[in-house]
Amino acid sequence: MDTSPAVAFSPYTMYSRMEWARLREDTPLTLNEADLENLSGVTERVSTDEVVDVYLPLSRLLNLYVEASQGLHGVTEEFLRKGNGKVPFVIGLAGSVAAGKSTSARVLQALLARWPSHPNVALVPTDGFLFPTPYWKTGGAARAFPRATICRRCSTFWGEVKSGKARVEAPVYSHVVYDVLQGHTLAVDNPDIVIVEGLNVLQPAILPKDGEAIPFVSDFFDFSIYIDAAEALVERWYVERFLRLRQTAFRDPAAYFHRYATLSEDEARTTALSLWRTINLVNLRENILPTRQRADLIVRKGEGHAVESVALRKL
């Protein structure tokens, strides 16, 4: 009888913040205070320490991945004796509402664009690929959520991006009117890197019985990142953001949430908690958190959005 203890295996190597910060080595800080102010979110202030300790090591790692991918692409084209043009390196970034995905994506875009081997870095939120609001009002949510919330146009878009098409256009979503803006597009013009940011971007495709799978957005990723934090913290950040927006964006009469602008602070807090617990927390538990282990890198946040640890998938 084998009485040896079971060995738990993890596909990740864990780093404390201090250990991860050392991996920066001599990567220069190329952002100033004005840059950081512009990159900060509604409730998340990007500090110099956060960039130095977390994002510079990450940009250095991603630079190594991108340059290796570019090299592999070059020798493969030479081997096949054909040139298909430049194919961008695609980075997926997922996590809960209010976890700070958009801020992280903006900081990475700014840092990665300063590396000489990949100066053209595009950022594409997946919100624009959501079905229009009228679809959800007719019961579409019950039929579609979560995978089909992203239209077939999304797969077409990423197929064109990954095939090296020079200019591809993505739809644009407005968080003011809470809908896709008809007639507005985001042009992705022959980039070196594309950062994809969204809640459910790490969802796998449903495997069809006939083997004719329709690719899902995660199938196009070369590297993926999950922004993680305790539920209680994300709830607090969500409420803080709601209260801040109540004083700013919600005051626009055209805003979808304009009706919340006149609420008292207590009423607004109660409303925010209700929206979090009945919609966003459910989505986190059922659809977003289960995809965390699909990420190549998991960034764990603590108080004040400060990153506490990083888990990197082993090669």
- For 30-50, write each residue's pLDDT tens digit: 999 899 999 887 778 899 999
Closest to 296 in 3D by CA, of 8, 9, 12 = 12
Contact 56, 24 (CB under 8 A): yes
Residue 152's pLDDT band, with cuts at 50, 70 and 90, is low
At position 92, the amino acid (one-letter code) is: G
Q: Domain 12-313 adopts which CATH fold?
A: Rossmann fold (3.40.50)
What local confidence, expressed as pLDDT, does residue 205 receive? Answer: 76
- For 241-252, write each residue's pLDDT tens digit: 999 988 888 888
Three-state DSSP state, 8: coil
Contact 228, 290 (CB under 8 A): no
Poorest-confidence range of 93-107, 127-141, 172-186, 279-293? 127-141
What local confidence, expressed as pLDDT, does residue 132 receive? Answer: 58
What distance in Å separates the CA atoms of residue 123 and residue 114, rounded to the nearest whole number?
A: 15
Poorest-confidence range of 141-145, 189-193, 289-293? 141-145
Inter-CA distances, 142 with 149, 175, 284, Å: 10, 22, 16
Q: Where are the domains of the chain?
A: 12-313
Residue 2's pLDDT band, with cuts at 50, 70 and 90, is low
